[in-house]
Structure 1
Amino acid sequence: MIAETVCAAVSAAGLGLAAITAYRKRFLRATRIAAYALVPIGLVMTGVVEWAADTAFSPTAWAGFGVLGAAWFLFMTTRAVERRRGDTGKDRKAAKASRSEAIAPAASAPSLGGSARPAGRPTTGSRPTSPGASAADDFSDIEAILKKHGI
């Protein structure tokens, strides 16, 4: 009885707040407040509040919540152990090997190679002296990367 009265009061206050918000020309917000305000009275009308009040004071219901909590705890514990242990050792090794492989293993190597530039000559730019040979090498690296990604 008290729970139904409280829900009706909350709904009335929410509808009043929605009316004030609509008066301030904020219709979208007022509609949303009205929707939230109608939820408690709808729960009273469907009987959910009476059921919840009966459940709140029932020792059997609280024991049932305890059993559900224990089941949830066991389920989460087994999931944590399963994640920590992994399915099998082979799967774990395969996953570790696939993670350690580089995405583009040759990408760290310079595209010009070590002998493309004479050692005694100062570097004046990124272009070598023979543009025909090195340009093909540069584009072959790019083509390899694009082919690897399916482009």
Structure 2
Amino acid sequence: MLAETICSAVSAAGLGIAAVTAYRKRFLTAARIAAYSLVPIGLVLTGTVEWLSGIAFKPGVWLGFGLLGVAWVLFATTRAVERRGGGTRKERRAAARAAREGAVEPAASAPSLGAGTGSTAPARQNAGKRSSGAPDEDFSDIEAILKKHGI
């Protein structure tokens, strides 16, 4: 009952302000103020204010909102921990197992242009296209840098 009275008073005051604004020949602003001031009385007449005031003053409803907040916080924290920590224990074990088994193929560490390590078919195909220099001479400076760094 109190909420409906307050909403009615707010609407009446808003319509008064709209009338004063219209008297000052600011009709667009007056129409906008009148529209805003009709909203509270519309909510009263539809029963929305009574429904909201019934919800706002029940402790059980507030307990429900509190539990929803706790659930949201739990969802957010578990999501953040999962993003930072790498997931669940099962996912971490699977990642560790994959790392131990060797994610890189053994042949991948072998040099690709070394003599006798791989297929010579690409070398034969490109033999006519290359200049007179050998393939080992082209990469000797790169091999020296890699050996210097222990790679």
Shift of 1:78: 3.9
In 2, the alpha carbon distance for the partners of 1:29 and 1:64 equals 41
Which runs of 5 or more residues in structure 1 are unaligned?
88-151
The alignment's TM-score, normalised by the length of structure 1, stands at: 0.51
Residue in 1 aligned with 2:115?
A: none
> How does 1:40-59 map onto structure 2 within 5 Å?
40-59=40-59
Counterpart of 1:36? 36
Q: CA deviation at 1:86?
A: 7.8
SS of 2:62 mapped into structure 1: helix
Aligned to 1:20: 20
CA gap of 1:10–1:83, structure 2 versus 1, over 3 A, is farther
Any idea what SS the aligned residue of 1:25 has? coil
Alignment CA distance shift 1:83-1:6 (3 Å):
same
Offset at residue 44 of structure 1 (A)? 0.5
* Higher Rg of the two aligned structures: 2
Alpha carbons of structure 1 residues 86 and 18: separation in structure 2 relative to 1, 3 Å: farther
| Cα distance, 1:19–1:67 mapped onto 2, change above 3 Å | same
Q: How far apart, in 2, do the equivalents of 1:82 and 1:25 lie?
A: 61
Structure 1 runs, 4 residues or longer, greater than 6 Å off: none
Match of 1:147 in 2: none
Superposed displacement of residue 56, structure 1: 1.6
Whole-Å Cα distance in 2 between the matches of residues 25 and 53 of structure 1? 38
1:64 pairs with 2:80: no
Q: What residue in structure 1 maps to residue 75 of structure 2?
A: 75
Using the TM superposition, give the Cα deviation of residue 71 of structure 1 relative to its aligned residue in structure 2, in angstroms: 2.3
| Aligned 1:125-144 pairs, distance under 5 A | none
Q: Distance in 2 between matches of 1:58 and 1:83?
A: 38
> SS of 1:16's equivalent?
helix
Alignment RMSD (CA, Å)? 2.5
Q: Deviations over 1:9-41 (max 9, x none)?
A: 000000110111111122222111111111111
CA distance in structure 2 between the partners assigned to 1:83 and 1:44 by the alignment: 47
Structure 2 CA distance, aligned partners of 1:13 and 1:64? 36
TM-aligned CA deviation for residue 48 of structure 1: 1.1
Provide closer, same or farther for how the CA distance between residues 8 and 85 of structure 1 changes in structure 2, counting only shifts above 3 A: same
In structure 1, the residue matched to 2:109 is: none
